[in-house]
A and B are shown apart, each in its own frame.
Chain A
Amino acid sequence: MASYRHDDPDKLVVDSIHGDIHLTQREREVIDTGSFQRLRYLKQLAMSQMAYPNATHTRFAHSLGVFAIMTRIVEIAKKTGQIVLSHKEEEDLRLAALLHDVGHYPYSHLMERIDKVKLIEEQVKVGRETKLSLDRTGTPYPEHDLVGTFIVTEQDDLLEALGGKRRAKVIANLFGPKRPTENVRNLQLSKLVHSSLDMDRLDYLLRDSQATGVPYGQIDINYLLNNLKVSPSGMVGISEKAVPAAEQFLFARFFMHRTVYYHKTTFGMEEVCRQLLRRLRDQGKYEMPRDAAGIRRLVTSDKLGTFTDAYVDGIIQESTNNDNEVIQTLARSMQGRRPPKRLREINILRSTDDPNEHHAGTTFKMNCRHNLSQLAGDFDIPLEHFILCETPPLRLEKRARLVSAEEAGKIDGKDEEELIKVFVSGEEEPKSLVDISHSLISRCAGLSFQSFRLYVIQEDTTKGEVLAQLREKVKNWDKT
């Protein structure tokens, strides 16, 4: 553990990952606001504690960890002299790191993404003649970084702690959506916040690994940080000798996703919760915000402090008495920690260069769409008790190694910026790790992992026989 110290420390907190973290008075005042303290009541890993009982650490602790890493990056940037930072700019960067997650929803990404959720009856063929209507007249829930900018620039306690609206906007702009009037300097500083070897991942891998007891997330953070460099344009990278540490960092992230974040119980419970919230929001129940405007009203009001995991827990509790049977079932599954049972899981590892988009996962989805309604009828199980879902595609890096100049022209600049960068000797600006031919990443970055799953919520857990029969029925649905 290290000591993350900067000039003019006022207080320190001790963190289980980073050791002593020193804070200035202003930083402490920001931490002491109600808007920031809310993060104590948001679990970093949402439902993971259902599978890993110790995974109850919070966004609050993670935010302090990211702050600690930013403190160290600022020191490195100063030491190497590539970027000269004023005292105020240093503090702005540290505050941006501290506040980068202040806009998270209850249960994090779970609630943020309910507008993407498709209900099972919207996915399977049930003999509909008319098309389903997709209403896009209301604005879906905004992403958490935008919610964060609302909070930082509109909540009075943060405005006061940050020293006014003008500064609050500068800080929000460093971690939130970018605005066009930024000068080159601000863009440079924001790269320090957003580069791929970003503080967010460095902290959450270590913290999540420690809390879950899953060792795959362990990374050599000290070696990575000790080998960080900053280019004149503000790109953060590592020196070439740290390539193995960076490779291990990317593999750690991959393994943590497969093992922890996509865990069958966690992912299943989170999907049940998403479906529950989506159905309740459609019903207009429990004062759930209907759209982006409702979210903005809530997070900029004095009710922000109630917008925590307990907000969702309360909704779950209340909806166990909902007059809709499906909602009741979903809520009881959550409340009683009765995770949906996995009937079938198809795991796919494919090359993103593979022109054939058909694979066992797509075949499985197709068969579910065509046959699930019949299966539900045969077993007298409500169709809505089935959960068909897929994990987001998981890659080591955002793109594969470039093999031609033509491909180089197709790169999106934003994605390119977020790749891990390596300073090869003699070069002032770094190149992407994925383009270093001796790196394992250059060979594996073109692979994508995805998991396709079918679950059923089984209220009566004594019916193990039914489960076995269902599994038998769907066991070949991944084959044509």
Chain B
Amino acid sequence: MAHGPAKGISRWLFTTNHKDIGTMYLWFSFAMFILGGAFAMIIRAELFQPGMQLVEPAFFNQMTTLHGLVMVFGAIMPSFVGLANWLIPMMIGAPDMALPRMNNWSFWILPPAFLMLASTLFMEGGAPAFGWTFYAPLSTTYAAPSVTFFIFSIHVLGLSSIMGSINIIATVMNMRAPGMTYMKMPLFVWTWLITAFLLVAVMPVLAGAVTMMLMDVHFGTSFFSAAGGGDPVLFQHIFWFFGHPEVYIIILPAFGVVSQIIPAFSRKPLFGYDSMVYATAAIAFLSFIVWAHHMYTVGMPVAGELFFMYATMLIAVPTGVKVFNWITTMWRGALSFETPMLFCIGFLVLFTIGGFTGLMLSIAPADFQYHDSYFVVAHFHYVMVAGAVFSMTAAVYFWLPKWCGKMYNETMGKTHFWISFIGFNITFFPQHFVGLAGMPRRIPDYSLQFADFNMMSSIGAFIYGASQIMFLYNVIATIVAGKPVSDDKVWDGAEGLEWTVATPAPYHTFETPPTIDPAHAHS
């Protein structure tokens, strides 16, 4: 048996252990989730009633901007990287990640980057206030001086993501146990492998975009200024060439999680494994050729509109395949409804609704009415929150017993689910209505006909926000004083190598590769 973890702070600072690093990613992302959530609470509190009550419009814009940036780059992405760190080596029978020192580095550059981003709040002129999409020239010529710090933190985040993805690609390609062929890998590993390729492809594009901004702000170039021969719309093309794959970077690992959990609680193998892999790859491919559907109103020629509309609509096909496969997995299974399964069913229903509104938004002519309205806000929160965050929550409940050897409180878990589910829908469902009725997004105040639904939305947001405290409590209570679990296989229906190691998972696993039964299908 190899040595255990070092003692004290140096364990965390210098660790190269995939489990420690995974744990740090998960806690860090939860801290960011709380921070981003706090920004959201300020937004919803200001929007509780018409009129300006709590904050000034300039500060409101800083809140919407930071909420988006922190949630996307600080909460959702690192949380799935944390999950990948914990699970990928255990799922493919590897002792650790392929590049453990780089793994340490890719985590530890994140906290300073976010500290820097958060510190912009206290700078003269305030934090970035141009939305998480930071369209030029609002984010260049017209931005507060803190934009330079924003650019630097984006660079660092990008660096962290690229290193993390290289590590995942290297691990999956080189460290699989003998007999673990590609088409035997758990779907979570597959979705992450594809996600990692997306990240390596588009993060440099984002870095390019912010570098061009830096040049425009400080070095007299005019990439995004028509006055100097540039084009503000160029920024949007570059940003969304990154930004659209980015939303699949967020959702594909979530698909992977759901594909692990639904079979476990259906006690039945995942239906259509091969088609799930192909559908994921198809979605990843399509994500590169649909970016301008975020830009239907910028004044594209009609041929461009048609191309991006048709390409975007196509995404519905592989996404539909995934949903159908999940439901067929449940069909004639023996279902039980522990907390992880509840969150996955919640995901299935709400993500599908988000998919429907996504299909509606893909239709260019209709998008002329939906674009930049609250309908869009509702749409992407159905995919981001009920998609990514719900599946992440399911993952924590599902693997937590394996990680810490203790069982969470099931009643509290289920209560957390129901309050989240109800709170989420009260928050975001009415936003479809105000959006269709004409309320633009990113406004600190609104006209009177939107008052009722906004108040409802705010109440829902407070409920949803508060329910996350229960989640935090449940996780900590489990780690500190949960009921011990000793079965390797915590859930009777769970399949996969991570359930063959001891519970709690020892500090080092698979120091000698496991034997994979060649006749055994994928997990």
Decide whether A and B are members of one complex: no
| B residues apposed to A, CB below 8 Å | none
A positions within 8 Å CB-CB of B: none
